[in-house]
Structure 1
Amino acid sequence: MITLHHCHQSRSMRVLWLLNELGVDFELRIHPFDKSLRAPEYLTVSPAGRVPALEMDGEVLFESGAILQVLCARFPEAGLGRSPEDPDWPEWLVWLHFAETLSQHLAALTQQHIVIYEDHMRSSVVMKLEAARAAKCLDTIEGRLSTPIENRDNLLTSGFSAADIAVGQAVYMARHFVRLDPWPEVSKWYERITARPAFQASLPPDGAEILYARDFYEAWNG
């Protein structure tokens, strides 16, 4: 049995999306995004007190990029991974882990806008700097999707993969802090991949406790 430890609107969403794409049976354990992740019982699952954590085949895995790689190797018939013999394997790895490059800036923005409650502790400089860094990541994705290759509908020429899932979920979070209008190819790609039923099934259900209460967070000017 596969068990995913998950918080809504966090990095664990990319693992949930992949599991839904794979169509495998799994149990979903939802945790609040709070100090309970530091509880001793959860630390036995995820030593850093973070999500995702995945229990499978008697092992416990953490780190979303590693979990995506393991799941793709465990279920190769879904075609969402790439093997070392595949010409797209290096690019698959690059884009799979590029999601974390973007996500680190989004984590900083989430902390500034949401986790920090007192205005005097927030920094408008950090907010603007991290938003600009996230925008540079979107420039990178735009450049990839703008490459003049026939049927460039996904990050890889060979089609939709876990790389699209990882980066797509990071863009899902980025939209709370950076508007996608300046990146037309990213916008079209994001619209395509998030129309997939597996992505829709990974969204928080109505009434769920969510991390982002607003659709968009403007930089604070205090």
Structure 2
Amino acid sequence: MIDLYHSAGTRSLRCLWALEELGVAYQLHSLPFPPRLKAPEFLQINPAGTLPFMVDGDTRMSESGAILQYLDSRYGEGELSVEPASAEFGNFLEFLHFGEASLAMPQSVVLRYQYFMPKELRQPAVAKDYQEMVLGRLPRLEQQLAGRDYLCGEFSLADISVGYALILGETFGVSEHYPEGVKAYLSRLKERAALQRALEKK
């Protein structure tokens, strides 16, 4: 049985969504955020105190993108991946990593310096700069979505990776500035039953 340590709004949503898409059995452990402060006992399980954290037998993982690939390779027989021989393979790799490196990571800086730091240490100018960085990367995403419902034609892990980052943007209002094609894409993702189930879990 897979154990997934989760907190609503964090990158663990990617893993939870993938588990629901694949129909894999799991035990969800919901933690308050940030767990390193509000659930210090979690440090005995993951000394870094970060989420997600997945335990599957002797396998212990904390990088959400790697967990997506692990779950699909081990339990999904590649159902949510793209074969290397496919013309979409490059797009798959590009957007699987784009969701974290180009979208989610800069947003984590926004959240840190606009909301999470003590008021006297917040840096509004830094937060604004990183927010604009994220918005500046969305035309690339909209271009990829032109004429298609999902990033690689069929739904894949790339959509889970990017979809989480777009959902994250809703939490602090950046989503109102999304291009129309990106808004429509996010709406399609939210229609997926697996994502709806994942979002209902706290």
TM-score (norm 1): 0.81
Instruction: Give the paired residue count.
Output: 199
Q: Is the 8 A contact 1:52 1:64 kept in 2?
A: yes
Show CA shifts across 1:82-130 (max 9, x none). Answer: 2334332232121111111211111111112321242x32222112101
- Does residue 198 (structure 1) correspond to residue 194 (structure 2)? The answer is yes
How high is the sequence identity, in percent, across the aligned residues?
Answer: 33
Show CA shifts across 1:125-167 (max 9, x none). Answer: 1121011011012222112112xx5xx110002x001110110
- Does residue 10 (structure 1) correspond to residue 10 (structure 2)? The answer is yes
Aligned to 1:169: 164
- Does residue 32 (structure 1) correspond to residue 32 (structure 2)? The answer is yes
Aligned to 1:160: 155
Q: Is the 8 A contact 2:139 2:179 kept in 1?
A: yes
Report matched runs for 1:86-97 at 5 Å: 86-97=86-97
Aligned to 1:107: 108
Give 2:122's aligned amino acid.
R
Give the 4+ runs in structure 1 shifted more than 6 A. Answer: none
Give ranges in structure 2 of 5+ residues lacking alignment: none
RMSD: 2.0
CA distance, structure 2, for counterparts of residue 160 and residue 19 of structure 1: 14
Q: Is the 8 A contact 2:18 2:68 kept in 1?
A: yes
Which structure dedicates a bigger proportion of its chain to helix? 2
- Does residue 179 (structure 1) correspond to residue 175 (structure 2)? The answer is yes
TM-fit CA distance, 1:182: 4.7
Q: Is the 8 A contact 1:142 1:186 kept in 2?
A: yes
Q: Is the 8 A contact 1:37 1:43 kept in 2?
A: no
Aligned pair in 2 of structure 1 residues 47, 93: CA closer, same or farther (>3 Å)?
Answer: farther
TM-fit CA distance, 1:58: 2.5
